[in-house]
Amino acid sequence: MVKRQKVENVQEKMVGVDPNSKSKEEKMKKIFDKFDSNKDEHLGMTELLGWIMAVEPTLNNDFQRVPSFLSIYLDAYRSFLVVSKGLSYTGFTRIYIDCLRNIDHDFNTLNIGSLEIQPINTPIHQVASLKAGPAVGRGSAEAKALQIASQQLSNRAILHIQQIQQRLLQQQTQQQLASSMATNYSNSILSNNNRSNNSHSAGLVNNYRNTMQQLSGGISSAGQVYNYGNTMQQVGGRIGSTAQVNSYRNTGQQVGGGISSAAQVNNYGNTMPQVNAVEGVKSKEKYNGPHPELAARLEKEILDTIPGVKWDDVAGLSEAKRILQEAVVLPLLIPEYFQGIRRPWRGVLMFGPPGTGKTLLAKAVATECGTTFLNISCSSLCAKWYGESERLTRCLFELARTHAPSTIFIDEIDSLCSARGSATEHEASRRVKSELLVQIDGLNNNSNNTPGKSVTLLAATNFPGNLDEALRRRLEKRIYIPLPDFKSRKELIKINLKSVMLAPGMDIDQVARKTEGYSGDDLTNICRDASLNGMRRKIAGKTTDEIKNISKSEILKIPVTMDDFLEALDKIHPTVSPEDIERHEKWYSEFGSS
Ligand SMILES: Nc1ncnc2c1ncn2[C@@H]1O[C@H](COP(=O)(O)OP(=O)(O)OP(=O)(O)O)[C@@H](O)[C@H]1O
């Protein structure tokens, strides 16, 4: 859902909040009210983020999506204060100050390393120096300072989460990867040997083996283990199975219009290690473009080299996957072919109702292709200072070229690129739009592109009709991501339930039949809710101590039943309206391109 709608929903609910309610808005209000009543109370950043994760089930434990919710809640709360307390920012101000203070504290606790401390007299300090008391009368200066502080907080929150995530991932993978690398290594050698029996290409086998040997020879630090491990996984993922190599080879043959000689097949096969070589060096590339300080900021906020989502994690959407493969995967495998009139599609728009898997697909593209993933939200490009947004946009594309092959993903692109000349268009957004168009043109310019070092723009929107016409034209492929059909719903339910035990009599077909009109996100929520029911029954009526004494294995063994699903279905309703679907289908018939 688009943020501003969420803000309005939360805001609407909070104004008429029932004091006895246990709703998340009520809980949030209580937490924030503490700031008004108790000066010494402070809220740690981690605590705030953890709390948002706990009360926002749609986050699905996805740490990376927390920052957008953080700003939604804070915005909603700010609006609530304005409506109900007449611009009293007292508690609100403290939240920001405390959050900023606690970020540094959290960094130390988590041993992440500390952030640059804000120089004195930045807006946040100006806000801090304002004494508590009714803010009516000095609202606008304070509001402006808070707005800027809000942006700073948001940026820091994103950074904070990325660092926590990176660290957790590293800790987990250091041990796991060290052992799985050995297995991958020997499996790959084995399968290479098997392939060599078929005499496909002895050179190819050697190339693979050399890559493996180099990888295992050069490991010295934990970070390297992590990087190499992922490369190995990618190598393993891409070339691990003979079937996959064959399917790439077949695709190459089809695309190449009949590559038939052994030499040609070998050449094609050799592009795979080349792709891997590009992956291997991409993180070492140094940015040499303009405004390095802005690029460094962007790099921290948006670079995600391994989003960790595979094609198989995305249920259904086979047509969308096919187009994305053509746009991104094949040009990396056979770059020489995708030249001239066959140049890759540089801009792909995914549109459709909320929660249908657009972001998930973008992440799968980046993971499966091993391209650097630059995941940018419009707020990261909207700077307060004159001209900075355009500079950020330029830096974004330059950064993508530095880390090429890469994929830039712009979510909710309609909020940045609504139709030009409209009454609501802001001067700053008009300039960013123009810069974006220029940059996309640069991507399409063949002379700027080295084969295998392409930059692809993926964009997503729930409001394709609001897009600027010139941008629409540049996003050459416009793919409709619809609600899941019966088969996809079944697949999605199976993906969601793969780690839980199912009771005999659990009928996935029936659940899929009953969930027509539900989005992928809605279905995930149903699976989540249903799989928590067993635990709810088990702890019902028990004290905290009794709950602590229940054995973990006993809880883990509670199977999910059909009744759990029926109960969840009673509570959770589809979030996408038929009108919304009609709107998308109409736009698809007019402007879709697949
Ligand atoms: N096709 C799918 N396969 C697997 N999971 C899905 C699929 N579609 C949605 N989901 C689930 O829904 C969640 C939200 O999906 P995602 O963020 O990709 O939707 P979106 O289309 O980008 O939504 P929005 O338009 O609101 O940004 C995912 O994290 C995943 O759990």
- How many angstroms does the Cα of residue 460 sit away from the middle of ligand 1? 12
Residue 85 annotated in ligand binding: no
Residue 258 annotated in ligand binding: no
Sequence letter at residue 53: M
- The number of the ligand 1 atom at minimal distance from the alpha carbon of 411 is 27
In the block, which residue shows the tokens 């290690």? Answer: 273
Residue 354 annotated in ligand binding: yes
- The number of the ligand 1 atom at minimal distance from the alpha carbon of 462 is 25
- How many angstroms does the Cα of residue 320 sit away from the middle of ligand 1? 14
Tens place of pLDDT per residue across the chain (594 aa): 444 454 445 444 444 444 455 565 565 666 555 544 544 434 445 555 555 665 566 666 665 566 566 666 665 555 555 555 444 444 444 455 455 454 444 444 433 333 333 333 333 334 434 333 333 333 445 455 555 555 555 555 556 556 555 655 665 555 454 444 434 443 443 444 333 333 333 333 333 333 333 333 333 333 333 333 333 333 333 333 333 333 333 333 333 332 233 333 233 233 333 333 333 334 456 777 777 777 777 776 666 656 678 888 999 998 888 888 887 778 877 877 877 787 777 789 999 999 999 999 988 888 887 778 888 877 667 655 556 778 888 888 888 888 888 888 998 888 776 555 555 556 666 777 888 888 888 775 655 556 667 788 999 999 898 888 888 888 888 999 999 999 999 999 999 988 888 888 888 999 999 999 999 999 999 999 998 888 888 787 778 887 888 777 777 888 889 999 998 899 888 889 899 999 999 999 888 877
- The number of the ligand 1 atom at minimal distance from the alpha carbon of 412 is 27
Q: Report the alpha-carbon distance of residue 343 to residue 259 in Å, rounded.
A: 19
Residue 353 annotated in ligand binding: yes
- How many angstroms does the Cα of residue 514 sit away from the middle of ligand 1? 19
- How many angstroms does the Cα of residue 573 sit away from the middle of ligand 1? 16
Both tokens assigned to 6: 């969420």
Q: Which of 359, 576, 581 to mutate to test the pocket of ligand 1 (most atoms within 8 A of CB)?
A: 359
- The number of the ligand 1 atom at minimal distance from the alpha carbon of 317 is 1
Q: Three-state SS for 461?
A: strand
Residue 578 annotated in ligand binding: no
Q: What pLDDT does 327 receive?
A: 79
Q: What pLDDT does 274 receive?
A: 32
Sequence letter at residue 499: S
Q: What pLDDT does 585 receive?
A: 92
- The number of the ligand 1 atom at minimal distance from the alpha carbon of 353 is 25
- The number of the ligand 1 atom at minimal distance from the alpha carbon of 362 is 18
Residue 543 annotated in ligand binding: no
Q: Which of 356, 363, 413, 489 to mutate to test the pocket of ligand 1 (most atoms within 8 A of CB)?
A: 356
Residue 581: burial class (beta carbons within 10 Å; 0-12, 13-18, 19+): middle
User: Using CA positions, which residue lies closest to atom 1 of ligand 1?
Assistant: 315
Residue 432 in contact with residue 389, Cβ under 8 Å? yes
User: Using CA positions, which residue lies closest to atom 17 of ligand 1?
Assistant: 359
Residue 231 in contact with residue 208, Cβ under 8 Å? no
Residue 393 in contact with residue 436, Cβ under 8 Å? yes
- How many angstroms does the Cα of residue 314 sit away from the middle of ligand 1? 9
Angle ∠(105,171,117) on CA atoms, nearest 5? 25
- How many angstroms does the Cα of residue 411 sit away from the middle of ligand 1? 12
Q: Which of 524, 525, 527, 531 to mutate to test the pocket of ligand 1 (most atoms within 8 A of CB)?
A: 524
Q: pTM, whole model, 2 decimals?
A: 0.54
Residue 356 annotated in ligand binding: yes
Residue 398 in contact with residue 447, Cβ under 8 Å? no
Q: Report the alpha-carbon distance of residue 543 to residue 398 in Å, rounded.
A: 58
Q: What pLDDT does 32 receive?
A: 58
Q: What pLDDT does 581 receive?
A: 92
Q: Which of 463, 521, 583 to mutate to test the pocket of ligand 1 (most atoms within 8 A of CB)?
A: 521
Judge if the upstream peptide bond of residue 405 is cis by omega within 30 degrees of 0: yes
The set of protein residues with a Cβ atom below 6 angstroms from ligand 1 is: 1, 60, 314-317, 354-360, 411, 460, 462, 492, 495, 520-521, 524
User: Any idea how long the chain is?
Assistant: 594
User: Using CA positions, which residue lies closest to atom 12 of ligand 1?
Assistant: 521
- The number of the ligand 1 atom at minimal distance from the alpha carbon of 2 is 26
In the block, which residue shows the tokens 């473009």? Answer: 289
User: Using CA positions, which residue lies closest to atom 13 of ligand 1?
Assistant: 521
- How many angstroms does the Cα of residue 463 sit away from the middle of ligand 1? 16
User: Using CA positions, which residue lies closest to atom 25 of ligand 1?
Assistant: 354
User: Using CA positions, which residue lies closest to atom 20 of ligand 1?
Assistant: 355
Q: What pLDDT does 372 receive?
A: 81
Q: Report the alpha-carbon distance of residue 551 to residue 535 in Å, rounded.
A: 12
477-480 and 347-351 as β-strands: parallel, antiparallel, unpaired?
Answer: parallel
User: Using CA positions, which residue lies closest to atom 18 of ligand 1?
Assistant: 357
- How many angstroms does the Cα of residue 316 sit away from the middle of ligand 1? 12
Which DSSP string do the residues of 541-574 spell out, in sequence order?
T--HHHHHHS-HHHHHTPPB-HHHHHHHHHH---
- How many angstroms does the Cα of residue 358 sit away from the middle of ligand 1? 6
Residue 90 annotated in ligand binding: no
- How many angstroms does the Cα of residue 369 sit away from the middle of ligand 1? 20
- The number of the ligand 1 atom at minimal distance from the alpha carbon of 363 is 18
For the chain, how are helix, strand and coil distributed in percent, rounded to 5? 65, 5, 30
Residue 183 in contact with residue 216, Cβ under 8 Å? no
Task: Examine the predicted complex and report whether its ipTM is higher than 0.95.
Answer: yes
Cα 290 to Cα 115, 295, 398, 399, 410, distances in angstroms: 24, 8, 8, 10, 21
Q: What pLDDT does 74 receive?
A: 61
- How many angstroms does the Cα of residue 78 sit away from the middle of ligand 1? 28
- How many angstroms does the Cα of residue 585 sit away from the middle of ligand 1? 19
Sequence letter at residue 437: L
Which DSSP string do the residues of 262-281 spell out, in sequence order?
HHHHHHHHHHHHHHHHHHHH
- How many angstroms does the Cα of residue 441 sit away from the middle of ligand 1? 30
